[in-house]
A and B are shown apart, each in its own frame.
Chain A
Amino acid sequence: MSFFLEPLQYEFMQRGMIAAILVGIVCAVVGTYVVLRGMAFFGDALAHTILPGIALGYLISGGTRESLFWWALGTAVIAALGIGALSKNSEIKEDTAIGIIFAGMFALGIALISTVRSYAVDLSHFLFGDVLSVSTQSLWLILIFGSLTLLIVFALYKEFLTLSFDPILAATLRLPVGLLNNLLLALIAVTVAVSLQTVGVALMVAMLVTPAATAYLLTRRLAQMMMLAAVFASLSGIIGLYLSYYLSIASGAAIVLTATFFFLLAFVWRRIRAG
């Protein structure tokens, strides 16, 4: 029993766990749409595209975690809507356009950060997350924006469902398709900004996609899929932090590895059931 309680006597572990759970739930719910609509690449691109925004914020405002959150949020929303607009209106194929932007923006971010003296440390925090240094203020930001996101997903549940399953039906029902699409992109952006602290840019797509993909293997009912995904994501956060504590490995990576392990378990289980 003390095995479970020992790490929790540290405040940083308590905050880290809460952050990992909250982030896990939001990523799982929004990630369900990412998986069903095949937007994993977009999610990854978005996570990388916000790096120059964070870098700029760091250069301009000196980079407390909280101010960086706002820079990340702003950049993410603009980037999401921008990528959305570009994919619709250009002759270049969508994944090519996304790839070009994401690589270019990421490089811009690294270039900007490298002008700061101690950039290697900060870069690694942005890339791999910093769940061990989540402050109480950051936790409030995660809670508020995470809840807001979940609230909107819940309120517009049937609209997003209709839009994702059959966009033509949505159009014939005169649902505001453009608005809803952009809103979903913005929600993904908010999720990315909120999750940046726990797993960072490089591992973000794992939190968006892996728990939802795991749930998809186990159920064919949307509401259940979201709930299962949230459970897997939260468990990954908790177990990952315990692993970081007892095995002394990087926390962000430990969380993602745990989520991936759950996926593999579900995959094998499905195979056994089918075969």
Chain B
Amino acid sequence: MTKRFIFTWTLTILLIGGLTSCFGSPAPDVLTSTTILADIARNVAGDQLVTQSLLPFGTDPHSYQPVPQDTKKINQSKVLVVNGANYERSLEPLLASVGDKKELIEASTGLRFLTDPENDQEVDPHLWLDPNNVIVYVENIREGLTQFNPDGADVYQANARAYIAQLQELDAWINGQVAQIPPQRRVLVTNHDSLEYFAQRYGFKVVGAVVPGFSSEAAPSAQEMAALIDRVKLFEAPAIFLDAADNPSLAQQIATETGAKVVTDLHLESLTEGAPASTYIDMMHSNVTKIVEALK
């Protein structure tokens, strides 16, 4: 009686296990950490390679917890593209086990990182919000792909050049847009410190963040809230900018007390499935349009 019971259950479990692995999607050639990197990498790799993002659309990479399927995908794909600058902290153990067996491209290699003024060890990973940094990303990805597949070198070269041209166009467009904002209103308040690179490139001042630090995972103390409210009032910041995935209640609290607007639909850490941010360039168009709307 017991033997039959154990046998039936083992069979059932094996069947289920087998079936689920059948239904998992095939692993891509190029696996990136985020959807933003996937779009950038795809523009370099072209149609030759299958490029996918590990994190789904709309996920906050700062708080992402890996699942077992992720290990499988990482192991089965051939090239890994990550942002670097400590962005993929939660994936580190998985990546460490991969070791030298794969081509690992750190897209931000060679760029100068900004750090937290109070803590040298903390690095700001949000480099991609400045298209000029993304140009370096593209070059790093091109190098890495060429190493992995020398046969495709010419294709990658051509793709990269074309995409860089688009990024330069984007940069010029942003400058034009920002010019519409009166200089004293070029003030940014964000959910967490994500727009520093963007601010430095395009002449904004980041006055503060609701959640102090480079990650979305903390919550402010009363002192930090009060300090931020003071700064918002001092600099007359017209708006607080949140990513679509952020919880708006603290920002709304600050807005009530200072008269600032709350903009809740920027896309800073992930693309969207469909409009308005299905590609990196669309994402930047959407973000800048909303920022300029709110500030001009």
Contact = CB atoms under 8 A, between A and B. Distances in A.
B249 A124 contact: no
Interface in B206-247: 211, 216-217, 219-226, 229, 243, 245-247
A118 B60 CA distance: 5
A251 B62 CA distance: 23
B59 A117 contact: yes
A119 B63 CA distance: 7
Contacts of B247: 63, 118, 121-122, 125
B65 interface: yes
A74 B92 CA distance: 41
A246 interface: yes
Nearest to A253: B221
B257 interface: yes
Interface residues of B, number: 30
B250 interface: yes
Contacts of A120: 60, 62-63, 216-217
A221 B217 CA distance: 46
Nearest to A68: B249
Given A10-B257, A132-B250, A132-B253, A117 B226 contact: no
B245 A13 contact: no
Contacts of B256: 11, 135
Interface in A1-55: 7, 10-13, 16
Interface in A225-275: 241, 244-251
B249 to A, nearest CB: 4
A78 to B, nearest CB: 25
Contact of B222 (A125, A135, A244): A244
Given A120-B60, A121-B63, A245 B249 contact: no
Contacts of A122: 247
A219 to B, nearest CB: 32
Nearest to A132: B225
A11 B222 CA distance: 11
Contacts, number: 93
Interface string B250-261: 101110110000
Contacts of A64: 249
B249 A117 contact: no
B276 interface: no
Given A10-B225, A114-B65, A125 B59 contact: no
A10 B254 CA distance: 10
A248 B216 contact: no
Given A117-B245, A121-B247, A132 B222 contact: yes
B128 to A, nearest CB: 18
B190 to A, nearest CB: 14
A192 to B, nearest CB: 20
B46 interface: no
A135 B262 CA distance: 15
A interface, size bucket = 20 to 34
B226 A13 contact: yes
A40 B211 CA distance: 34
B223 A244 contact: yes
A244 B58 CA distance: 33
Interface string A143-180: 00000000000000000000000000000000000000
A117 B268 CA distance: 13
Nearest to A12: B253
Contact of B253 (A124, A133, A249, A250): A133
Contacts of B59: 117
Interface in B35-68: 58-60, 62-63, 65
Given A121-B246, A121-B247, A13 B222 contact: yes
B59 to A, nearest CB: 5
Contact of A133 (B63, B65, B249, B270): B249
Contact of B250 (A63, A119, A133, A244): A133
Contacts of A130: 219, 249-250
A251 B59 CA distance: 28
Contact of B217 (A11, A124, A133): A124
Contact of A118 (B65, B216, B249): B216
Contact of B219 (A128, A245, A247): A128
Interface in A101-146: 114, 117-122, 124-125, 128, 130, 132-135
A135 B216 contact: no
A107 to B, nearest CB: 14
Contacts of B60: 117-121
A131 to B, nearest CB: 9
Nearest to B250: A133
B110 to A, nearest CB: 31
Contact of B58 (A117, A125, A128): A117
Contacts of A11: 256-257
B221 A251 contact: yes
7 contacts: A12-B254, A118-B247, A120-B60, A121-B211, A121-B219, A124-B217, A250-B219
8 closest cross-chain pairs (CB), A and B:
A120-B63, A244-B222, A248-B223, A245-B222, A118-B245, A133-B249, A118-B60, A248-B221
Given A133-B250, A249-B221, 6 more contacts: A114-B65, A117-B58, A118-B245, A120-B63, A244-B221, A247-B221
